[in-house]
A = this chain, B = another copy of it.
Amino acid sequence: MKKVTIRDVANDAGVSVAAVSKVLRNAYGVSEELRSKVQNSIQHLKYRPSTLARGMRGKTHCIGVLLVEMHNPFLPKVVDAISQSLKHEGYKTFISVGESDTSIEQSIIDAMLDQHMDGLILIAPRLSGEHLRSIAIRKPTVVVGHHEPSSNDFDTVNCDDFSGAYMATEALIESGCQNVHMLSLPRFDDVVEVFSLREKGHLKAIEVLAVHQEPHIWRINERDSNFDVACAQIFEGARKPDGVFCWSDIHALQLLSVAHERKIKVPGDLSVVGFDNTSISALPMVGLSSVDQFATKIGNKAATLLMSRIFGRLTSEHLLVEPALVKRNSINIFE
């Protein structure tokens, strides 16, 4: 059960290893006859080139995807789109999960570089722009879910978060809410831009469409074990909201749960809009209005950008995907 190597193929086909290597890489300068002899031997011996040996000199044809975490169902959709796009280009995708922790993220990226992966796609990394830059100058890199249009070293693909937040808030105001709040995430040090864009869009909508309202932004970590307790505060303060725009569907779902338990009617007493349009929102017993980020489109664009970067592009691109609001039962709909 020995491993069959390029040399075995060369012997079997009666040619040199260099010739085999050329066939493998579709390199210039091989006759049709030689090519077919080699390909015969490859099939016959069931030869598979070792990615390791290959990577020591050339390309590995592997792409590393760093995923911030796996629990938001929006993320798998992006990853699926990436894997599929890259597969068509002949690249293998390997995913590693960062657990929302910068030091874990860093060690994953190091491991991917150690593996000589040909390119990196970082999905909603917690690492700072500084860090990302230091990675990107060493290896073609595309970042998803991190707004940094000033970067010259890596590309970015994002939902237009400002616009998404604006339209969500607008819908709440138009549905008649007099007191619209936002349920956001706690800020963390560096990667602040993507957050602030959603918050900015929210605030802007209030400013433009309902100046008299006094905005309020609640900040709760959606994976916090006593999210509900923290969340309940929203209904115990002096100025209770009658409309809440939520950072994610996960937030929104938990908010709806709290409302459900307190017998707060949705819609009626409270309207809610989430973000990501995950499949759960569409369940009729949930009926959560939500902003769709078009995960598949985002993933496809990220893959395409990475390919063109690997093939030599040096200038940066920063893509924005326009989101769309899907209205459901969690807000009053007049039309």
Contact = CB atoms under 8 A, between A and B. Distances in A.
Interface of A: 1, 48-53, 55-56, 60, 62, 70-71, 73, 76, 79-80, 83-84, 87, 92-97, 99, 104, 108, 110-111, 113-116, 137-138, 253, 256-257, 260-261, 280, 283-286
A5 to B, nearest CB: 12
Count of this chain's copies in the oligomeric assembly: 2
A108 B95 CA distance: 12
A76 B71 contact: yes
Contacts of A70: 70, 76, 79-80
A286 B286 contact: yes
A201 to B, nearest CB: 27
A108 B96 contact: no
Given A94-B96, A261-B284, 6 more contacts: A1-B137, A52-B52, A56-B56, A79-B97, A94-B95, A256-B285
Which 7 interchain pairs have the tightest Cβ spacing? A70-B76, A51-B114, A94-B94, A95-B95, A92-B111, A260-B284, A52-B55
Nearest to A282: B257
10 contacts: A50-B116, A51-B114, A51-B115, A52-B55, A52-B60, A70-B79, A94-B95, A94-B96, A280-B280, A285-B285
